Amino acid sequence: MPNSKPEKDIDINQLDSDLAAAQKLEQGKNTIIGRIAMAFAFAMSLFHILTVFRQLDVIPQRGVHVAFAFTILFLSMPLYEHVFKDKYAGNPTFRLVCRMVDILLVLATWASVYMCSYEYDHLSDNLGRAGIWAAVAGGILLVLTLEAARRCLGYIMPALGLIFIVYALVGEYLPGQLGHKGYSFSEIFKYLAVDLDGIFGTTISVSASTIFMFVMFGAFLEASGCSTFINDLALSVTGKLRCGPALAAVVASALMGCINGSAVANVVGTGTFTIPLMKSRGYKPDFAAGVEAVASTGGQILPPVMGAGAFLMVAFTGEPYTAVVVAAAIPAVLYFLGAAFAVFAQGEVGNVELLPPEQIPRTRDVLKDGWIYLVIIGALVYALLVAQYSPALSGLIGCAAVPLVMLFDKKKRYTLKQIPSSMVKAGYGALSIVAGCACAGIVVAMVSRTGIGIVFGDMMINAAGRQTFLSLLFTAIACIILGMGLPTTSSYIIAASILAPALAKLGIPILTAHLFVFYFACLSAITPPVALAAYAGAGIAKCDPMTTAVHACRIGFAGFIVPFVFCYNSALMLDGSILEIVKVCGTAIVGCAGLSCGLQGWFFSKQRKISVQSRVFVIAMGFCMMMPSDLFSIIGIAGLAAMASFEISRTKKLNAVA
């Protein structure tokens, strides 16, 4: 039997860099250094608002973005808290020395950005050759980026960056396909500083021009109290069902997760309400935590916002934003339908009680009180998908809609005085993204410079015998392993630069390949042994993290299968005839139901679990429904229909005997 409580309390703030940054913001409000960092955070938000209307040149735009983030990071996450495991953090002299180092790092950040900008502007004068100051700036920027990532994201991301730097240095000494001509420190530093495939490459470009505005929109929306409205709305719609509390968690976390883009932060934001509610109705703590982890993780794959994923996919694939959203829509729906079937099945076989009517808010009252939030979200969706403004302008429109629309709110949940604090919170909320994108930029730069991406892709394809399924399986495993120690954004960037091109060589469309990679980068948040989203849920539910992660994988199992399905049949991405799309979506929905219900042990059986043999049969038939074959679909639907008829008949007999 698993322990009902973890062996030790889980510090949820340490599981996620966004939560850690929010904690540092609160801690720094009463300190001088903290207030200086807050001033920089406000200035960072103001800078991005202004550059929506008038962008700077390439390097200055991206460089100032990085400089603001690193300044806030070095000031709010001081060195004395990140060396020797806080052993000497209480020593005043040690703290003073560390603070002086932090200030030097801040000055070095701005100086290196200025040098990069200067050298980039004079490339044409020097016939495309960067000067010595580019090498100096690149070296300094490399150290700063690795240190910023270490403080914010831990050791894994900077270690990856260093591994690729070393690979670029020693390439001429490596045998076979892994070898290349090798590069000197000077060449590497110049490349990182002024090349548009370097640190200030695609990843930082997307972060500076697009992602930050949506981080700000999330900060504005959170301050307005929208999360309470979404929780109440989800509960009012699903509350009368036996599985209502769990289903409400799925709906609420999906809606909030697609905006904030952080699985762990979303678990904390909505789970503090949904997990105790599920436990109170009879759901086991580890199952309740697993539901929240799955739903919060899936928010990153749910259009229209999809966290930072959609905007990065646009940059990597060259596809328009609307194409990414359309392609991701049905797979995301299937993911959440699989989770919904799982919680429904568990509600039928578990000792789950209905919510008392007085605890279920009326949908009419919730909408009457919170319709104003629908207007705000509608303004963002209209700007993105209907008017098709640039993502940055659309994000700014969403931010502006919050205080403007909330003027009509009689309860005054958001006032104009809250705008500066929301802008400050946006600056802190972007730290992990900027640090991750900058450090991932080092990896992408070395992949581009050395050609290891092509080599690795060929090696993977050859190891799979050039078989599509094995190549997809190897890619999924690699993405999950990468994502175990990295934020979704960082793991997706690295996998997209190395693994997605290899899938494209097998004939898989480039957008499909990137969506496949992104799915598994997200799912690493619920996959043992790391499973950060499951750890966060377990910390709230006070249960065992590993048991929670296992439950999460069972609840979200459809999410592991759907990416394989859309790689074999593009109709699932709304690419095909109407008849083909309807057929594929219908079989996939039935398949998700079979898989989820079989894994939970229920299939049209009245408040009892089916036998192990029946569970295996239902799961197998669910797999058949997901296969790209009409014959397998016929077998699957016939098998599931027969099993449903058998269980319904058996239930009637048992009831008659009772």
For residue 14, what pLDDT is reported?
A: 62
**What radius of gyration, in Å, describes the C-alpha atoms of the chain?**
25
For residue 485, what pLDDT is reported?
A: 67
Neighbours of 388 (CB within 10 A): 13
Q: Which amino acid is at 64?
A: V
For residue 9, what pLDDT is reported?
A: 59
For residue 4, what pLDDT is reported?
A: 44
pTM for this predicted structure: 0.88
Q: What angle do CA 250, 254, 258 make, to 5 degrees?
A: 170
Q: Which two tokens stand for residue 486?
A: 């990295």
Pairwise CA distance, residues 13 & 34, whole Å: 18
Pairwise CA distance, residues 77 & 235, whole Å: 38
Neighbours of 405 (CB within 10 A): 18
Nearest alpha-carbon partner for 10 in 546, 452, 605, 560: 546
Asked if 108 and 167 touch (Cβ cutoff 8 Å), the reply is no
CA distances from 375 to 344, 378, 485 (A): 31, 5, 38
Nearest alpha-carbon partner for 310 in 381, 230, 228, 398: 381
For residue 102, what pLDDT is reported?
A: 96
Nearest alpha-carbon partner for 25 in 36, 16, 34: 34
For residue 653, what pLDDT is reported?
A: 83
For residue 337, what pLDDT is reported?
A: 94
Half-sphere exposure of 559 (CA within 13 A, CB side): 36
Ranges of the chain with pLDDT below 70: 1-18, 124, 127, 260-261, 485, 658
For residue 87, what pLDDT is reported?
A: 78
Nearest alpha-carbon partner for 309 in 560, 298, 573, 507: 298
Q: How far is the first Cα of the chain from the last one, in angstroms, to the nearest whole number?
A: 31
For residue 16, what pLDDT is reported?
A: 63
Three-class DSSP category at 546: helix
Asked if 166 and 160 touch (Cβ cutoff 8 Å), the reply is no
Which residues, in sequence order, are CB contacts of 415 under 8 Å at separation 6+? 403, 406
Pairwise CA distance, residues 384 & 377, whole Å: 11
Q: Which amino acid is at 613?
A: Q
DSSP 7: S
Which residues, in sequence order, are CB contacts of 54 under 8 Å at separation 6+? none
Report CA 92 to chain centroid distance, whole Å: 39
Report CA 363 to chain centroid distance, whole Å: 30
Neighbours of 610 (CB within 10 A): 23
